[in-house]
Amino acid sequence: MIQTNELTRIFRAEEVETTALNKVNINIEQGEFVAIMGPSGCGKSTLLNILGLLDTPTNGVFNFFNENVAGYSERQRARLRKKNIGFVFQNFNLIDQFTVFENVELPLIYLGLSAKERKTRVEAALEKMQMTHRRKHYPSQLSGGQQQRVAIARAVVSDPKFILADEPTGNLDSAHGDEVMNLLGELNQAGTTIIMVTHSQRDAEYAQRVIMLFDGQVISEKLSSEKSN
Amino acid sequence: MFKNYIISAIRNITKSPFYAFLNIAGLTIGMATFIFILIYVADEISYDKHNTNYSRIHRLESDFTIGSKHDKFAIVPIPMGPALQLEFPEIESIVRFRGIDNTLIIYNDKEYYEDNFYYTDSTIFDVFSCELLVGDLKNSLVEPNTAVLTQKIASKYFGKENAIGKVISTGSGRQYKVTAVIQNQPENSHLKYDALLSASTLAKEVGEEEFNSMEPNRFWNIGVYTYVMINKNSSIQSIHDKFPDFYDKYMKSLGDQFNASFELMTTPLSEIHLNSDLASDLPTGNKAYVYIFSIVAIFILLLAAINYMNMATAQSSNRSREVGMRKVMGAEKQQLIGQFLSESVLLAIIANLLALLVVYMFLPDFNGLTGKALSYSLILEPEFLGLIFAVSVFIGLVSGSYPSFYLSSFMPLNVLKGITTSSGKPNLLLRRGLVVIQFFIAIVMIIGTFVVSDQIDYLKSKDLGFEKENLIVMELQDSAFRSKVEVFKEALLQNPTIENVSNSTGVPGDVSWIQVMLVEQESEMKEFAIILAQCDYDFPSLLGLNFITGRDFDKKMGTDDTAAVIINETAARQFGWIDNPIGKKILYGMELDRSGGRSMKVIGMVEDFHFNSLHNKVEPIILFISQVPRFFVTARIKDGKKATALEHIEKCWHETGADRPFNYTMITELQEEMYEGEEKISTIFLIISVLTVFIALLGLFGLSSFTAEQRTKEIGIRKVNGATLFDILILLYKEFFWLILISFVLAVPIAYWRLSIWLETSFMYHTEIHWLSIMLAGISAMVIGLLTISFHVVKVASSDPVEAIKYE
Ligand SMILES: Nc1ncnc2c1ncn2[C@@H]1O[C@H](COP(=O)(O)OP(=O)(O)OP(=O)(O)O)[C@@H](O)[C@H]1O
Ligand SMILES: [Mg+2]
């Protein structure tokens, strides 16, 4: 489903060049739950952004459903993105001035669904995350864990092929973190592909496979301890 | 999708209501001012267009050259219209108007002085569109001694009674039977008559033959407003083309004797109001103001739009997460641009509705200010509303343009990293640029206001060459009363509050008698058209004219009442006598063959005095004593004794036998009337500049609050590192100080240039543009600008540094 070949990302900022990704080759199949780990600054987020079509590689091949999207324009990427990918962030990134319902509804708006269709889908997503009773609330009225559940509802509402999560538990205490990880696990059980960046060994255990990055390079790929056999 | 945009827009308004308020208030004031100016301009250019045939109607005008004097009049000789119609088949119809000023009209016990009554040909109803209320227009004004009244006059004299068949009379005893009542003239007519009297009345009085005579001498007297309506398929140009032949036939023989020539000029009816600049014209508008206000209207809209741009971009940090997330969700740039544009258009439309409300509320004040009588119906016209709506959408698009491009270009990656304050350098530069533009406009307006008011002060305080204070003018319309004027004068002087009295044919502010005279030149007598005032012995001393050389009229000389003339300096200069005017000859009232007339010698030369408004330059004027009917009696009263003096004058007025109501004006009032237009403009200018400055300040206030917010952390760190409160204040004020200074430096040359043109084209005599006014404008802009930002500056500067650093 996702496959990269010598994927390289170089940041150039006034004289300084940072090679954030250096010839990365990875391959992720449908239905997988993959964790990406590594020290700070090793390029995890950079990789995730490229996989999420938010950023383009400087070099290399990025096959997205067998289509090399490495050179795609912003507009082409936006179109692929909205149909296929859901995002979950460390800092939730809910829009403060929107209610829970409106936040979850947002991706559907750009898919051009009817108001009725949107309503059913949002209700279903909130139901799944057990946030239906909070639908009229604003993000600031929710706890961190609740906010992240809303963010996950938003990520899944458009029924994406896979979900990208960048340190989804980074801002949560362990109880809420576990809750979020369980939800992601359930989604994966139901067939959604999940790619997650994390610093936490605990979280990584939910994944079937762990990709270790160091200085922009993949240094190891191993099956997660729990699911190894 | 649209619903979501609206939700987003509304949530943003409710999230920071204060900035939304600043934004909408700015737009509303801008739009309201724009609408007011729009209706003002629309009214100014709509003059006379209510006449169905306006495009075929032209006013005939005269351009006389007599000797070296060149004069253009809004009126033409009495037979000009009929003669042209006789010669040119292009003319379908003509109509003439002769106004009678300040005339007593009587019906039973009702007596009023009327100004806007006109003798008119019965063809008026073929040419101009009038709405008949009662009676019959077809045969109206044909018979002598008939009248057509407007609704206003009919109800003034007859109340609710039927006016048809009623007879009104003038103070001199002429009677007129009312045959029709018509709707009042629309305010936007250049010739606003209140009633029409049949011109055939005059024909009957002077004799049909005499009145309709087309002898050459009848073409060399100036006379009546004349309008021609040309055929559908003809053009006025063909009349101009053929006019030389007409001149040869009707006018040349006599013109050559006079050393005079005549050009026919015409102005299309709908252009008279804004384009006329002729002697003897009715009050007209001023094209310059229409231009200036149109530009100002656009300026104001621009200001409001800039405000919006400024605040919307300054607020962008509040929106960056929304933008980023929308992009992550797959929103394309165009969709986001669309979103922000619809938001600004929505706000502009809200502001527009509020502006219409404001206009609705302030329309009466606006009318009072401009002297117009615009009604609500004008605003409610669908075309007008459509236009206003289109403008508000346009303004919405313009104001939303920059913010939407700016906001929609946020990179989602930044948002993911949690970078939400993303005001880069170029954006700051642009916002500063916008503040500079706003203050530039505001300062230009402030300088304009100061200069206009300086000019008005100048007009009011300029030494006019005579003593204008404490002069009371009365008009003697009644010939019986006029014959007793000496008795009246004596009676007036009995009271110590009356210092001097004189009887004359003109007074400063109301001298309109011009006549051709023969003036002594090197070898012969030559024709000059000269302004004159005929008077009694006391006139020069009454006005307090300053003699440069020679003497005043003197009874003891014995011959001053028949052979003496006093001239002004300009006359002496123009006749080439400036070194030695005394004893030079002027021949007045001669026949066409130069025989007869009255030969006068110059006995004195006075300093130029302004008998016209300061819009015009002083022309040659001569004063001499004669016994022609002299309508004006002017009295100089003791300073501060106006009430007692008036009481006495009124008593004498009635005792000497005037059976008309007592009526007077002060010379100073006549003077002020001349500058009413400028006074109005000055007030309007003042109001517009206040609004302009206010909008600019709203913008500045909003901007400073954002700058303050953004710099809170920086200021905190500076403080921790030892910066004093004073250092911080300097730091914060400095930026805005420079911005306002730059605006000022840009504004001065533009304002100076534009205002010099205005002063030079509108006034023969005008003030200089004082540097003090300019500096004052700059300083006031600076002071109020810096005061406006002080609120936030002081707040930030005095904030607790520890708090400020924790902020992030
Ligand atoms: N926009 C950018 N411009 C310049 N350099 C960048 C940019 N984004 C990332 N980098 C650099 O690329 C490298 C990888 O950054 P990245 O954010 O992918 O690290 P990370 O593994 O996600 O770190 P962390 O665990 O702290 O989130 C870093 O050295 C970083 O400084
Ligand atoms: Mg990261």
- CA B212/CA B205 separation, integer angstroms: 12
- CA B684/CA B286 separation, integer angstroms: 14
Q: Convert the pLDDT of each residue in B397-406 to its tens digit.
A: 998 898 888 8
pLDDT at A15 over 90: no
Helix axes B17-44, B382-408, angle to 10 degrees: 140
Contacts 24+ apart (CB under 8 A), B354-362: B354/B24, B354/B28, B354/B31, B354/B32, B355/B27, B355/B28, B355/B29, B355/B30, B355/B31, B355/B32, B355/B34, B355/B35, B356/B35, B356/B388, B358/B28, B358/B29, B358/B32, B359/B32, B359/B35, B359/B36, B359/B39, B362/B32, B362/B36
Interface of B with A (CB under 8 A): 1, 3-4, 7-8, 11-12, 14-15, 321-322, 324-333, 335, 412-413, 415-418
Choose the weakest-confidence range: A206-220, B373-387, B542-556.
B373-387
- CA B211/CA B77 separation, integer angstroms: 12
The answer to whether B565 and B556 are in contact (CB under 8 A) is no
A35 C-alpha to center of ligand 1: Å?
18
B589 vs A228, higher pLDDT: B589
Count the alpha carbons within 13 Å of B496 in the hemisphere toward its beta carbon.
1
* Cβ A41 under 6 angstroms from ligand 1: yes
State the amino acid at position B685 in one-letter form.
F
pLDDT of B375 reads 83
Identify the residue whose C-alpha is closest to ligand 1 atom 18.
Answer: A43
- CA B137/CA B629 separation, integer angstroms: 37
CB proximity list for A179: less than 8 A, separation 6 or greater = A145, A149
A186 vs B729, higher pLDDT: A186
Nearest-by-Cβ selection for B330 from A81, A89, A102: A81
Choose the weakest-confidence range: B94-98, B117-121, B711-715.
B711-715
Nearest-by-Cβ selection for A93 from B325, B332, B413: B325
| Cα-based distances in Å from A136 to A11, A142, B606, B720 | 42, 11, 90, 43
- CA B792/CA B707 separation, integer angstroms: 9
pLDDT of B389 reads 93
The answer to whether B403 and B367 are in contact (CB under 8 A) is no
The answer to whether B622 and B571 are in contact (CB under 8 A) is yes
Q: What is the mean pLDDT of chain A?
A: 90
Q: Which residues of B touch A89 (CB under 8 A)?
A: 416
Identify the residue whose C-alpha is closest to ligand 1 atom 6.
Answer: A11
* Cβ A44 under 6 angstroms from ligand 1: yes
pLDDT at B86 over 90: yes
| Cα-based distances in Å from A161 to A26, A52, A196 | 18, 11, 14
The answer to whether B168 and B107 are in contact (CB under 8 A) is yes
Bridge partners of residue B550, in order along the sequence: B604
Please identify which residue in the block is written with the tokens 């700059």.
B778
> Which residue among A16, A18, A196 has the greatest number of ligand 1 atoms within 8 angstroms of its CB, and so is best to mutate?
A18
* Cβ A20 under 6 angstroms from ligand 1: yes
- CA B125/CA B135 separation, integer angstroms: 14
* Cβ A140 under 6 angstroms from ligand 1: no
Backbone angles phi, psi at B757, to 5 degrees: -60, -45
Extended strands (E) in B50-144: 57-66, 69-73, 91-100, 103-107, 110-114, 117-120, 132-135
Identify the residue whose C-alpha is closest to ligand 1 atom 31.
Answer: A41
pLDDT of B393 reads 94
- CA A17/CA A216 separation, integer angstroms: 13
Backbone angles phi, psi at A61, to 5 degrees: -110, 135
| pLDDT range class, residue B529, cuts 50, 70, 90 | confident
pLDDT at B807 over 60: no
pLDDT at B22 over 90: no
- CA B229/CA B235 separation, integer angstroms: 10
Choose the weakest-confidence range: B501-505, B634-638, B794-798.
B794-798
In B656-770, which residue ranges form alpha helices assigned H by DSSP?
667-674, 676-720, 725-762
- Which listed ligand is nearest to A20 at the C-alpha? 1
* Cβ A212 under 6 angstroms from ligand 1: no
DSSP string for A100-112: HHHHHHHHHHHHT
**Widest CA span of chain B, in angstroms?**
107
Q: Convert the pLDDT of each residue in A21-74 to its tens digit.
A: 999 999 999 999 999 999 999 999 999 999 999 889 999 999 999 999 998 988
Identify the residue whose C-alpha is closest to ligand 1 atom 20.
Answer: A41
pLDDT at A150 over 70: yes
Q: Is A138 helix (H, G, I), strand (E, B) or coil?
A: coil
Q: Which residues of B touch A106 (CB under 8 A)?
A: 4, 325-326, 329
Number of H helices, E strands in chain B: 28, 24
B97 C-alpha to center of ligand 2: Å?
90
pLDDT of A227 reads 46
* Cβ A42 under 6 angstroms from ligand 1: yes
CB proximity list for A100: less than 8 A, separation 6 or greater = A126, A131, A134, A135, A136, A137, A138, A139, A142, A150
DSSP string for B246-277: HHHHHTHHHHHHHTEEEEEEEEEGGGHHHH--
- CA B140/CA B121 separation, integer angstroms: 10
Q: pTM to 2 decimals?
A: 0.80
Q: Convert the pLDDT of each residue in A92-129 to its tens digit.
A: 889 888 899 999 999 998 888 899 999 999 999 999 88
A14: burial class by Cβ within 10 Å (0-12, 13-18, 19+)?
exposed
| pLDDT range class, residue B806, cuts 50, 70, 90 | low
Cβ separation of A110 and B327 shorter than 8 Å?
A: no
Q: Which residues of A touch B413 (CB under 8 A)?
A: 49, 54-55
pLDDT at B808 over 80: no
What residues flank ion ligand 2 with Cβ within 5 A? A 45
Q: Convert the pLDDT of each residue in B285-300 to its tens digit.
A: 888 888 888 988 898 8
Give the N- to C-terminal CA distance of chain A in Å, as an integer.
24
Q: What is the mean pLDDT of residues B563-570?
A: 94
DSSP secondary-structure letter at B533? E
pLDDT of B424 reads 47
pLDDT at B50 over 90: yes
Q: What is the mean pLDDT of residues B161-166?
A: 93
Q: Is the dihedral of CA B679, B681, B687, B692 positive or negative?
A: negative
pLDDT of B420 reads 47
Nearest-by-Cβ selection for B413 from A55, A79, A109: A55
Q: Convert the pLDDT of each residue in B667-712 to its tens digit.
A: 988 888 888 878 888 888 889 889 888 888 888 887 787 777 777 7
A50 C-alpha to center of ligand 2: Å?
13
Write out the H or E segment, with its range, that includes residue B527: strand B525-535
Interface of A with B (CB under 8 A): 45, 49, 52, 54-55, 74-75, 78-79, 81-83, 87, 89, 91, 93, 95-98, 102, 105-107, 109-112, 115, 166
Nearest-by-Cβ selection for B322 from A45, A54, A95: A95
- Residues of chain B with pLDDT > 90: what percent? 45
pLDDT at B61 over 90: yes
Nearest-by-Cβ selection for A93 from B15, B321, B413: B321
pLDDT of B537 reads 94
How far is CA B55 from its chain centroid? 25
pLDDT of B409 reads 81
| Cα-based distances in Å from B611 to B264, B531, B565, B628 | 28, 10, 17, 20
Bridge partners of residue B599, in order along the sequence: B587
Q: Which of A9, A109, A113 to mutate to test the interface with B (most CBs of B within 10 A)?
A: A109
* Cβ A17 under 6 angstroms from ligand 1: no
The answer to whether B325 and B319 are in contact (CB under 8 A) is no
Cβ separation of B4 and A79 shorter than 8 Å?
A: no
* Cβ A40 under 6 angstroms from ligand 1: yes
Q: Convert the pLDDT of each residue in B166-202 to its tens digit.
A: 999 987 788 999 999 999 999 899 999 999 999 999 8
Cβ separation of A115 and B328 shorter than 8 Å?
A: no
* Cβ A51 under 6 angstroms from ligand 1: no
Q: Convert the pLDDT of each residue in B304-328 to its tens digit.
A: 888 888 888 777 777 888 888 888 8
Our CA-based measurement puts residue A86 at a distance from the nearest CA of chain B, in whole angstroms, of: 8
Closest ligand 1 atom, residue A197 Cα: 22
Closest ligand 1 atom, residue A39 Cα: 25
Beta-strand relationship, A2-13 and A85-89: unpaired
Q: Which of A49, A97, A161, A197 to mutate to test the interface with B (most CBs of B within 10 A)?
A: A97
pLDDT of B416 reads 62
Nearest-by-Cβ selection for A95 from B325, B331, B418: B325
The answer to whether B420 and B317 are in contact (CB under 8 A) is yes
Q: What is the mean pLDDT of chain B?
A: 88
pLDDT of B622 reads 94
pLDDT at B423 over 60: no
State the amino acid at position B679 in one-letter form.
E
- CA A184/CA B745 separation, integer angstroms: 63
Kindly state the tokens that stand for B514.
Answer: 């011009």
